Structure 1
Amino acid sequence: MALDQTTIDTLKTITTATLTTILLKKGLRNVWLRGAMPLRKGQERIVGPAFTLRFVPAREDLATPASWGSPISTRAAIEAMPEGCIAVVDSMGVRDAGIFGDILCARMQKRGVAGLVTDGVVRDLDGVLASGLPVWCSGAAAPPSVAGLTFVGWQETIGCGGVCIVPDDVLVIDADGAVLIPQALLDEVVGEAVEQEKLEAWIVTEVERGVPLPGLYPMNDETKARYAKFKEGN
């Protein structure tokens, strides 16, 4: 699924913190991917549909360097990634085997992949950083993926960082980590998030001019009336 540019541009202005609040109000508590933090400080917020990849525990007859040339391989999966997608990798939280290194990340960057997010780690850290691919993960480790994991497929429902990810669900990722938006809820979440950002920006201005928090955040009826009046004038 390709996201329209308007949706992408709008979500790039919305923090993941705001999105978790909106999703919480809809009853979705488990939408933040544990263990996936920015590899490089200052990475810009990215938005895109999930392209999922799945690893399982290593089995010695399957997890070998020769498996990298198999039709079911991370290499084949990368060639199937559409431009603008976010690669979401279920690494089972394994931290002593790097799922992707510099060459694979460079190829993803060349194909126009928006970014990589995993609950595991990468390897060839300097090369991965040099590739320019935005990466969110749990760190780096020298051993290759086959030292601890077996790659089994792509574009299927996975668990990453303790969150259920379905292909084409939408991810928004920034300095606070990665947040999942179920594809079916996308339009209403976007609309509500835009209003929430406007509301919180107004609350910040109120705090800056000395208004105390009780009744302001969350708002009581008087504050709601003041905010409504503010919106009418803007």
Structure 2
Amino acid sequence: MFSAALRRTATTSFRSMPLARSMATGPASGGEISDELLAKLGNLSTQALVDGLWVMGWPNAQIDGSRALHPSHKCVGRAVTLQFVPARPDIAQDKPAGGESPEYEAFEKCGPNEVLVMASVGKWDSVGGDIKFLRLKQREIGGLVTDGSVRDTDEIINYGFPCFSYSTTARQGPAFMQPWKCNDVISVGGVAVRPGDAIVGDQDGVVCVPAKVAEKVYSIAHGREEIEDIIKEELTKNPGPPGKYYPFMSGKIKVDSPLGKLLATKGITPENSNQFEGSADW
């Protein structure tokens, strides 16, 4: 039996030992997205990409509340992330000042194939406006996405880069929040975004495709879009309720089903498609 003194010493020593911690930050390993794959993902609709992730069983990937600032805006690019935190005097003092601020660090990592993803504190708080975003225009950025708001709307639209935000506002951001960390995992609109993930935005919203599974998501989503085009073509020629062919689950289409037989007439079979029962490769 330990003496009381020995037990106290052992307890004190145990409590003073640092706990080992493991934390995953930054880009995913083995998941770099090529420019070629980016272009292919950008040719798909956001709903097709959401469906592809859903088929695989991955969590929701749509960044709710980020809508196109202008009807012409569509973006695709690798994510560069920026985290804002609530304003607090001591944190403001510790944050690098001026051009060394984390937001400008993030700006300089952006180019035509990058989308800056900014995690706001509040949906009505401004993440920036015309003077700050002039630099994004100069960098020819692929797009900006935030779950907060932007100000100086007309000028941002004139800058020409795609912008997706919760809304627009006249209120300033620094009174409520400040940029704190560049290129770490962030939560935007309830979705986890990792640096290097593919960000695709169109009029239906913005989707984050995790870099590690981007190729697989493209394969599923592209296959689904091909099938949906065939279904629409058939229903246009032979009007009727879509229920004969739609909806369908990728990887579970039966060869002898009405949809399976329709696809066969177009040359799509389990031998060349992963959409059929038993052919799924995810």
- The verdict on a shared fold, with TM-score over 0.5 as the criterion, is yes
Q: Which letter maps to 1:4?
A: S
Q: Which letter maps to 2:107?
A: I
Q: Which letter maps to 1:225?
A: K
Task: Please state how far the C-alpha of 1:82 moved relative to its aligned partner.
Answer: 4.2
Provide the aligned C-alpha RMSD in A.
2.3
Residue 243 of structure 2 aligns to a residue in which SS? coil
Residue 100 of structure 2 aligns to a residue in which SS? coil
User: Partners in 1 of 2:190 and 2:121 — Cα distance?
Assistant: 9
Matched, 1:224 2:260: yes
Cα-to-partner distance string for 1:179-233 (whole Å, 9 max, x where unaligned): 111111011111121111110011111221214322211357122112122126x
Matched, 1:87 2:116: yes
Task: Please state how far the C-alpha of 1:173 moved relative to its aligned partner.
Answer: 0.8
Matched, 1:52 2:88: no
User: Partners in 2 of 1:126 and 1:93 — Cα distance?
Assistant: 22
User: Partners in 2 of 1:139 and 1:67 — Cα distance?
Assistant: 28
Contact 2:231 2:245 in 1 (8 A): yes
Task: Please state how far the C-alpha of 1:3 moved relative to its aligned partner.
Answer: 4.1
Q: List alignment gaps of at least 5 residues for structure 1.
A: none
**Structure 1 segment 1-234 matched on structure 2, within 5 A:** 3-43=33-73, 45-63=74-92, 69=98, 71-95=100-124, 97-209=125-237, 210-218=239-247, 221-231=257-267
Task: Please state how far the C-alpha of 1:19 moved relative to its aligned partner.
Answer: 0.9
Task: Please state how far the C-alpha of 1:130 moved relative to its aligned partner.
Answer: 1.4
Q: Which letter maps to 1:29?
A: P
Residue 267 of structure 2 aligns to a residue in which SS? helix
User: Partners in 1 of 2:38 and 2:99 — Cα distance?
Assistant: 35
Bigger shift: residues 126-135 or 213-222: 213-222
Task: Please state how far the C-alpha of 1:172 moved relative to its aligned partner.
Answer: 1.1
Number of residues of Structure 1 aligned to a counterpart in Structure 2: 230
What is the aligned-residue identity percentage? 29
Contact 2:201 2:207 in 1 (8 A): yes
Q: Which letter maps to 1:229?
A: T
Q: Which letter maps to 2:222?
A: V
Task: Please state how far the C-alpha of 1:112 moved relative to its aligned partner.
Answer: 2.3
Bigger shift: residues 204-213 or 46-55: 204-213
Residue 146 of structure 1 aligns to a residue in which SS? coil
Task: Please state how far the C-alpha of 1:13 moved relative to its aligned partner.
Answer: 1.9
Cα-to-partner distance string for 1:115-140 (whole Å, 9 max, x where unaligned): 00000001111211111121000111
User: Partners in 2 of 1:164 and 1:113 — Cα distance?
Assistant: 21
Cα-to-partner distance string for 1:139-158 (whole Å, 9 max, x where unaligned): 11223221111210100000
Q: Which letter maps to 1:33?
A: I
Q: Which letter maps to 1:72?
A: S
Bigger shift: residues 206-215 or 9-18: 206-215
Q: List alignment gaps of at least 5 residues for structure 2.
A: 1-30, 249-253, 269-282
Task: Please state how far the C-alpha of 1:92 moved relative to its aligned partner.
Answer: 2.8
Contact 2:82 2:102 in 1 (8 A): no
Contact 1:94 1:148 in 2 (8 A): no
TM-score, L = length of structure 1: 0.89
In the alignment, which residue of structure 1 is the partner of 2:16? none
Residue 145 of structure 1 aligns to a residue in which SS? coil
User: Partners in 1 of 2:76 and 2:108 — Cα distance?
Assistant: 20
Structure 1 residues 159 and 143 mapped into 2: Cα distance closer, same or farther (>3 Å)?
Answer: same
